[in-house]
Amino acid sequence: MEFASDNTAGVHPAIMAALALANEGPAPSYGADPWSARAAQALRDVFETEARVFLVATGTAANALALSALTPAYGTVFCHRDSHLNTDECGAPEFFTGGAKLTTLAGFGGKVSVDEIERSRRDFRRGFHQQMPAAVSITQASELGLVYAAEEVGEIGAYCRAHGLKLHMDGARFANALAASNASAADLTWRAGVDVMTFGATKNGAMGVEAVVFFDPALADHFDYRVKRGAHVISKSRFLGAQMAAYLENGLWLDNARHANAMAARLAAGLAGVPGVALPVPTQANEVFAILPRPLHDALQAAGAHYYEWPRLASGLAPIGADQAFVRMVCSFRTDPAEVDQLIAAARAARA
């Protein structure tokens, strides 16, 4: 019963086949290959705009390099305190920006609001004695699986424009967010004021590729130098391009995300009916967060269920007791309905 992460799911067969096909014969290197060009155009088609696209191998590189184009070394980036930028990137944003500061914000479920940004920004009143507010970063879907509606992104985008801030979106699970939304990819990003985003693929069926997508092309000037200096110019670039092109072809990325979301909804519905289980965060994408009685948690682990206990951080949830466990369960494009039902049955049996 594998629910530890969508990173454990492996590679979709169509993407693996695309890699094998790209492996036949020689190809131009350092981004000059046709697969990379095809992937970039596919992303422009998805977002309905002439974005500038850079492929890298990891989400941390994509996030940190993107921010380096938005803030000077003496700037600050506002982000949620639960964000991957702040909790899981080992100082990479600060490193690649040359020392810019992350100013962290509260907000239920990993989402930030205009009010919270304003409350924090107003603390920066002392000119050059403090960092210069430069950008805001939001995560779509959030670290606790919540989805920003297009209107919410638009409110943040309008605020950023009014106060001279750039807006970055960490879209490691953007496919899951979009699949849960009635909006278009464009509506959730540049039409709402997003300047640059990290477009994730690895968690949703790719082997290892993310895209930095600049909706404001001017911000991408000299970005290729940043990528090279950051050691993310891949010489055999066709293997990044082939992944991304196959990921986007015929809507595979959204099919994968819809399946993962559906499995998470099935899991959440089943767990909600187990005595003693609480779901403090709505399941909107492919992550389920639950508070389990600790004996149930222990029983599920003993039965072979793989998932993580999760740090509470600033998610806005009330403290739990020592006899409880706050856990994250993640579904992927490969999650089998039978596996979901097996975990639910194990939970019910343990509480019988």
Distance between CA atoms of residues 156 and 138, nearest Å: 9
Pick the CATH number of 11-250 from 3.40.50.150, 3.30.420.40, 3.40.640.10, 3.55.50.30: 3.40.640.10
The more confident residue out of 125 and 342 is 342
Identify which has the larger pLDDT, 116 or 322: 116
Q: List, edge to edge, every strand of the sheet that includes 132-139.
A: 52-56, 210-214, 196-200, 166-171, 132-139, 75-80, 101-105
Per-residue pLDDT at 182: 86
Domain ranges of the chain: 11-250, 253-350
Find out whether 167 and 139 touch, Cβ atoms under 8 Å. no
Residue type, 349: A
pLDDT of residue 81: 93
Residue reference for tokens 């080992």: 90
- CB–CB of 287/144 below 8 Å? yes
pLDDT value at position 313? Answer: 54
CATH architecture designation of domain 253-350: Alpha-Beta Complex (3.90)
Backbone angles phi, psi at 88, to 5 degrees: -135, 20
pLDDT computed for residue 127 by the predictor:
85
Give Cα 6 to chain centroid, integer Å.
11
- 15-60 pLDDT per residue, tens: 999 999 999 999 999 999 999 999 999 999 999 999 999 999 999 9
- 1-14 pLDDT, tens digit per residue, is 999 999 999 999 99
How sure is the predictor about 315, in pLDDT bands with cuts at 50, 70 and 90?
A: low
The DSSP secondary structure of 100-111, one letter per residue, reads: PEEEEE--GGG-
| Sheet strand arrangement including 308-309 | 287-293, 324-330, 308-309
The answer to whether the 11-250 and 253-350 domains have the same CATH topology is: no
Residue 129's pLDDT band (cuts 50, 70, 90): confident
> E strand or H helix at 289, and its extent?
strand 287-293
> Is the pLDDT score of 294 beyond 90?
yes
Model pTM?
0.95
Q: What share of the chain is helix, strand, coil (3-state, %, to 5)?
A: 45, 15, 40
pLDDT given at position 297 = 96
Average pLDDT, the chain: 96
316 pLDDT tier (thresholds 50, 70, 90): confident
Outline where DSSP puts E strands in 90-220. Answer: 101-105, 132-139, 166-171, 196-200, 210-214
